[in-house]
Structure 1
């Protein structure tokens, strides 16, 4: 189809057409004639089509208005007048992505699907949601998603509740989140970025319904919109649908959403903030030190890409000079940072975690002196080449796990488009790389450092320090504030609050009518492929090694995975398997120091990574095989070099460098510690699974809180036990890396397979050849039922067990049970009514099963909901349409698109788990044949599972201590 510039197509005027060679696409820029809506179509052969509409939404305060609105518009609209069309789509769409996101200055609503009919359905629901939401009809939506006074009777204490309120209480429980929230405040005191678009829990209750509505009226208009269409869809049909059903009804208006530019500071500004720790915690090594620099404008595409590379170079590798300088000086245990380019004036950030307050000046001096040295002496050219190659490999590979490509491109486009820049500039990176690669012969990056860091006074130094009892103090102040508010209310006002709460609960408890639900567009079961996808797998043998070959069009990239069975490792050394995966490639070898090694990996490969993993063996209850996986990817021309680097790392890593080893242990522990609260649901569910199965116990030791505790002990005792630690790592290496203990997985084009014959002997030459003796593991299972104490403000509540122990069997119908519970019973009772941010159920093939909540204000109330699953299933009813919806939504999960690297990994995991194509087909047929009675029949399974009574909750120390009868033991998470 040929389009002409300035012609109008279904209400849209074509402004520009451009070849986008880097992503094998053509870009079209349109403007809606009537209302000025901006629309870009990226046309290529990708069948995973993406639609997104975004609005520029600069906040004027920290009430979280943009965030609350993002949640709320998806709670029903003019055409789709149900309580939550978003959830109905999650239940019954083939979408490959469905979400909404609040940024500091914009809100976007992306959807994706490979099915054309489904794609148009998703566009219809989302456009109606953002342009005609039910927030004008039902104030209860604002209460539910934002905040409200929670009071069921006049005798109760007044409290706050609301999904976003609880979400942000959880988010700001983490010092890392608190730091990132405060950084823009220090740099942009006069622009929208000083505010929290997500919402500060202390400020959220200041938001009024009137301001909430006014914000939507102002910003959610096509004249303020940025629309993306991506993929192989019919452009004419898409434009016609958007225009005829929505945009033709809006006239052009002037929306003042422009974001001010902050004037540069005359000097660096210093700020201090606090976060809470327990009264009996030590203040030592708990301060965060942070430097920030405002770097040009986001629409400067060369600077944008150059600083992405520079950030990697300075902070992201073992050879990174800023990271190395700080760690060598003992300033912090973990050094991190980022280049935040999704705002008008991007920020380059350096963070040192686990410092002490008195190190502030030294931190600043080390950073600036290191930058001066880099400018004066020059940056190592090999390090520059490594960081350029790493960034370029990732952009060209285009495997963005979790996000469809179209969404990743949209976000990169918006980083310029939103600020009146060229929308395609961040996608057309060939010329940018050509220019940046001049840095291999010039002082390109040194000049950037000089201009944007050393001579840049638009910067801030932020200290985030611990304060004992700060959270308890805030909680007491909040309680006092709410008591004061309640005392100031008249009897009539109290009754009004109670009545509003009743009205909200009535709305939450009243099911949508079948007539309203029928309006939500739904695919037919005939749209579903009855056959399970066959992932490529051919079992071969080379050099007496089993090769799992996956024939895929990988664009000259080879994906090489080495699976080493770790059952030769004694049970006492299991933690060392994970430690080994965390230090390999980051310590020196016989041929390279660790900095040079990192550069060699990034120059010649797309990455070499190490991961411990365990696989249940299908058909053998309670049995599992643990593996140590080496993942490598490289262009075929570099595959041999990748093999040489793997062999060098396996055979010649220097564990005797105790100084480097100790530095890494501190860094790994600090990094995990920073994520503990945000990953509370994973910690809790792993604990629950560890109480009831050997695989669960093994996984918990490697991936759960046990590993963090192991690192904490290692750090504390390292000086007296370092020889033992080094010896244990060496023994673990001997147990794992053996040519009698390896399976290889290789993904590539058919004509490239021969490369494995060249690289395999190199790897095998680094391995031992002794006879492998596998060990028997015996774990202490049972009802540990731990309460894990944190200074967080919310809970993560898990309960589960193993249904095979009660004589039940796995069936595909359990996938639908997950969907029904997750999007109906649990969603309505734990999220909608309880105020938790999320909740989900999982039933695994090996019998492991759990329900877990995320950022939950409750404990016992949530456990009571879990225990009610049996009763819910006994009474479960659904018409044919509703069951079809659940089946389609479950098939969506089974058919989620996989990248090339993922296809090889998933196929190999099936093989290692003894899951055949017949098993996958049987599972699919069981999903497709589920009926109401199938779901009802799971009631006894749910009853017996909950009766096993394996419970773990991670959450607020005070809250858990109020509920001690739930637990056998209370433990502090962070010592």
Structure 2
């Protein structure tokens, strides 16, 4: 730690330009310039062993063909040193990476990797650097055809179709109204800038991209002089600099790359635009319009506005006490209000969005927004609200918990918000001084002045109406077919034959495996490089106040994570959906002590958040027995524990379900959020629905979070006036049954020294809880292969198939985790993504016996089911050498060894405790993974065949596509009304 380097010195071709301590990330930051090539490199040295490397390029799009996005996919399809078809997949299969991906933004392309293993980290870095600087795209035109687009025709008498991974990915993205709105907002606000183009690719324009344009884009922008290298963690920087210089950068000469992002000139007056998005023929157009006001806010290099507007969007639109959100909902303008501050572009956007509205409410929408903002400026924003918003933001900054994203990667993304625009790379990481300036808002009109300057007196804004249109998807599909038919008519017989030959040549390339010699170019660890032991998660069983406590002593930087788990198996079957509704209402309704706005402020001012959720933990090795729980997750600084406890108790025991207007608003908001999940994460919806056909756990979860729950919300909203008394009574009943001391398990993750502080105030938390004995309920669900077609206006499908292998007499072993790696990155990847053109396909096998296959943004339907059914044959013939098998094992271990935050460790340990999964079970699974053989994988062919032969499937997708195969379904269901 703290390697001694001198500013001005040259280290392996890299001149150290600046060096400073960055206390916010607990490290030292160093900016280097590679003098020969012009590359910039930023290094953050700290104690984090989850090392991150990234190379990024400034890639402003010149059109909407998606060239930067297609290139992001394509450079990872083989390179000079690694001449195989998909090095990315080989790394996913066989490295210990903790993150491996690539990302296209509106103005940059990032290639990040992360690993805790030093040897693996260098291997990943090598493959990614070779990919971006020496890709095979120059030698192989089939890469663009596969990843971007191509004409597909297998027989001269067939219709020509467009196919390609990015083409279908973006057709899926353009099927979601949220995505359409976000994309069109930039187009409207930046007509003269690269931001006016669709960097991801608009399906209408993707087929305009030629091989020549594709290569020219790489040649222009993928030069070290236009690159931003980033290294983070506890590794040896001198070793990395030596490697990068010797192997890559020393081969390039510095040159000027014109990639500057021009500033969009402000508008003389605000704009107004109406845009359409597709809904299916059976849907109603009423309550389906999105109203959106969007403002351009200075530049992202202005550190103060960057941070202040992050807080302001939260303050105005993202909490229960948010005054602008409240005003819009109270004005009955729509059913959900959201907002976002997009600051990962040069000119950030502040957006205010009302969902599920109608076009005639446009004027009122504008009036309410501007009148509310004017009132806030004139009368001032409640200082308690400001304090609460700043406190919550500061808590999140200090906690630096980014879920599945490594901390070091999130720092890299934040850095690009200044570095890309030629400003100091770490200004957004050094937040302490900026936060002090923003905290002036507690005693001055700081935010009021910001609202006046950037929102009320800002002509660089646009009102956008996103309106539904029935049959729009069919119109587009018809226009595409007509365009392709016309194109075919223009071709000679020889030209058509040539297209058929190209289709077959691409297919042959896709189906031809890489040679062993080619595969051997990918660096690979040895099994000995892997820790044979599972990490032991700390868990101490205790009993306090007659309540079971699980204590996880871990370093948490002064934060206590307190989670309450209540059994919900005492709830009558017909009231199961109310458990989920309760989780969405708590904390957003008034209580005896606080109205809901004050409650929101109290939570944000004193804690890091209180969240309510539902879950079903299946018994170790069974989905027949499960433990349904209502979970309250909370976190606070240790000295705020007394306040945290009293707030949780107040919400649990004194929430008022009598606020009818507020109740209806939250029901509408919840329905809108589930619709968004269905549109953006169809694969998750399909898997949950599929499991409900045969799994008790799956059926229960479907009632809590799936399509059945969505139908429940639709019914409550439509019949609210008739049902409001029943709704209130059921919520009260469910609440009283759940919050019972006899059904409670508490999990606390904190430092050893802080446990007593938690215990001292425990009575505050639990002393008022109900203590009557409730009998558990035995649920009886109807199981059958419903095999439903869930119809939407989407232009892509989500195809799911599966069953429970334990019901068929098979047992679980760790080799099934290796099978997951093999199928996800080999058979399914090749058949469904590479050959089928879908964006992705997934397989999972759980210790409960449940298996699913599912595709994501898939142009196909029957072909995908056939690909699943071919799996057992693939496995029966599975034959790989020792090296390939080792690769699959290492890749599987990578998935099992994801780095966890202290909070996540506590939650995982608690989950295993509830499910009765012992350390020995996890250790045995790891041993079975490490010792898996190709014979073990071949033997799974019988298990997979038995599962697939049950023929349980569920498909969500395009209405016409599903109708054209209606004979395979037992039921066809329009998903949205």
Q: CA deviation at 1:704?
A: 1.2
Question: In the aligned structure 2, how far is the partner of 1:759 from the partner of 1:791?
Answer: 53
| Residue 621 of structure 1, CA deviation | 5.7
Distance in 2 separating the partners of 1:788 and 1:359: 31
Matched with 2:226 is 224
Count the aligned residue pairs: 975
Q: What is the match of residue 292 of structure 2? A: 290
Matched, 1:595 2:625: no
Question: Structure 2 matches for 1:7-26, cutoff 5 A?
Answer: 7-26=9-28
Cα distance in structure 2, aligned partners of 1:780 and 1:656: 34
Out of 302, 318, 321, the position equivalent to 1:319 is 321
Distance 1:621 1:378, change over 3 A: closer
* Other-structure match for 2:163: 161
Deviations, residues 537-583 of structure 1 (Å, cap 9, x unaligned) = 11111111111110100011000000001001111110001000011
How far did 1:620 drift?
5.0
What residue number does 1:651 align with? Answer: 653
- Normalising to structure 2: TM-score of the pair? 0.99
Q: Which runs of 4+ in 1 moved over 4 A?
A: none
Asked if the contact 1:606–1:633 (Cα under 8 Å) also holds between the matched residues in 2, the reply is: yes
CA RMSD of aligned residues (A): 0.7
The DSSP-based 3-state class of the residue aligned with 2:581 is helix
Tell me which residue corresponds to 2:618: 616
Aligned to 1:575: 577
The answer as to 2:782 corresponding to 1:792 is no
- Which residue, out of 413, 421, 424, partners 1:411? 413
- 1:950 maps to what in 2? 952
| Among 338, 344, 359, the residue aligned to 2:361 | 359
Q: Does 1:549 align with 2:547?
A: no
Question: Judging changes above 3 Å, is the alpha-carbon distance between structure 1 residues 250 and 619 closer, same or farther for their aligned structure 2 residues?
Answer: closer
Cα separation, 2, equivalents of 1:436 and 1:155: 67
Q: Given that residues 78 and 87 in structure 2 are in contact (C-alpha distance below 8 angstroms), is that contact kept between their aligned partners in structure 1?
A: yes
1:709 shift after superposition: 1.0
Determine if contact 1:144/1:162 at 8 Å carries over to the other structure: yes
Answer whether contact 1:607 1:633 (CA < 8 A) is retained: yes
Match of 1:879 in 2: 881
**What is the aligned counterpart of 1:851 among 837, 847, 853?**
853
How many angstroms apart in 2 are the aligned matches of 1:928 and 1:468?
53
1:696 corresponding residue in structure 2: 698
Alpha-carbon distance in structure 1 between the residues aligned to 2:370 and 2:168 = 40
Pick one of 392, 395, 398 that aligns with 2:397.
395
Kept in 2: contact 1:685–1:798 (CA 8 A)? yes
2:242 is aligned, of 214, 219, 240, to: 240
Q: Is the 8 A contact 2:28 2:44 kept in 1?
A: yes
Q: Residue 845 of structure 1: SS of its match in structure 2?
A: coil
Bigger CA drift: 546-555 or 488-497? 488-497
1:809 aligns with 2:807: no
Q: Is the 8 A contact 2:76 2:87 kept in 1?
A: yes
| 8 Å Cα contact 1:648-1:766 kept in structure 2 | no
Once the two structures are superposed, the pairs formed by residues 747-786 of structure 1 within 5 Å of their partners are 747-786=749-788
Mapped partners of 1:618, 1:58: distance in 2: 51
Shift of 1:758: 2.1
Contact 2:536 2:919 in 1 (8 A): yes
Query: Deviation at 1:765?
Result: 2.1
Task: Tell me whether 1:129 sits opposite 2:131 in the alignment.
Answer: yes
Shift of 1:466: 1.1
What are the within-5 Å matches in structure 2 for residues 703-742 of structure 1?
A: 703-742=705-744
* 3-state DSSP of counterpart to 2:293: strand
Deviation of 1:763 after TM superposition, in Å, equals 1.4
* Deviation string, structure 1 residues 47-100 (Cα, Å, up to 9, x no partner): 000000000000000000000000000000000000000000000000000000
CA distance in 2, matches of 1:179, 1:229: 35
Alpha-carbon offset, residue 935 of structure 1: 0.4
Q: In the alignment, what sits opposite 1:498? A: 500
| CA–CA distance in structure 1, aligned partners of residues 368 and 781 of structure 2 | 47
**Alpha-carbon offset, residue 469 of structure 1:** 1.4
The 8 Å contact of residues 621 and 847 in structure 2, kept in 1 or not, is answered as no
Could you report, residue by residue, the CA deviation over 1:243-264 in whole angstroms, capped at 9, with x for unpaired residues? Answer: 1110000000110000100111
Quick one: distance in 2 between partners of 1:805 and 1:628?
A: 28
After superposition, residues 214-613 of structure 1 pair within 5 angstroms as 214-613=216-615
Q: Give, in angstroms, the shift of residue 467 of structure 1.
A: 1.4
Contact 2:623 2:696 in 1 (8 A): no
SS of alignment partner, residue 67 of structure 1? helix
**How big is each residue's C-alpha offset from its partner over 1:891-944, in whole Å with a ceiling of 9 and x where there is no partner?**
111111011110000000000000000100110111011001000110110000
Contact 2:623 2:697 in 1 (8 A): no
C-alpha displacement at 1:164, in angstroms? 0.2
Partner of 2:144: 142
What are the superposed Cα offsets for residues 581-621 of structure 1, whole Å, 9 maximum, x if unpaired?
Answer: 01100000001111110111011000000110111111556
- Please give the residue correspondences for 1:58-73 in structure 2 after superposition, counting only pairs within 5 Å: 58-73=60-75
Alpha-carbon distance between aligned partners in 1 of 2:47 and 2:632, rounded to the nearest angstrom: 33
Structure 1 Cα separation of the partners of residues 685 and 23 of structure 2: 44
Unpaired runs of at least 5, structure 1 = none
Q: Alpha-carbon deviations, 1:679-731, whole Å to 9, x = none?
A: 11011111111111111100111121111111011100111010000101111
Q: Deviations over 1:316-351 (max 9, x none)?
A: 001111110000000111011111001010000011
Matches within 5 A, 1:6-155: 6-155=8-157
- Map Cα deviations across residues 736-779 of structure 1 (whole Å, 9 max, x no partner): 10000000000011111112212321111231111121100011
Q: Distance in 1 between matches of 2:254 and 2:494?
A: 45
Match of 1:823 in 2: 825
Structure-1 separation of matches of 2:147 and 2:622: 45
Q: Distance in 1 between matches of 2:66 and 2:123?
A: 29
1:675 offset after TM fit, Å? 2.5
CA distance in structure 2 between the partners assigned to 1:130 and 1:706 by the alignment: 46
> Is the contact made by 1:650 and 1:766 (CA closer than 8 Å) also made in structure 2?
no
1:107-164 Cα deviation digits (max 9, x unpaired): 0000000000000000000000000000011100000000000100111111100000
What SS does the aligned partner of 1:698 have? helix
Instruction: Tell me the distance in 2 between the aligned counterparts of 1:523 and 1:206.
Output: 42
Match of 1:925?
A: 927
For the 8 Å contact 2:549–2:748, the answer to whether it is kept is yes
1:564 and 1:437 map into 2 onto residues whose CA distance is: 39
SS at match of 2:125: helix
CA contact (8 A) 1:795 1:858 kept: yes
With normalisation by structure 1, the TM-score equals: 1.00
Distance 2:692 2:595 in 1: 39
Secondary structure of 2:692's aligned partner: helix
Specify the SS of the correspondent of 1:676.
helix
Partners in 2 of 1:560 and 1:855 — Cα distance? 38
5 Å-filtered alignment, 1:668-679, equals: 668-679=670-681
CA distance in 2, matches of 1:496, 1:191: 39
Q: Following the alignment from structure 1 to structure 2, what is the Cα–Cα distance between the partners of residues 672 and 419?
A: 37
The one-character-per-residue Cα deviations of 1:464-514 (angstroms, maximum 9, x if unpaired) are 111121111111111111111111111121112111111111110110000
Preserved CA contact (<8 Å) 1:102 1:108: yes
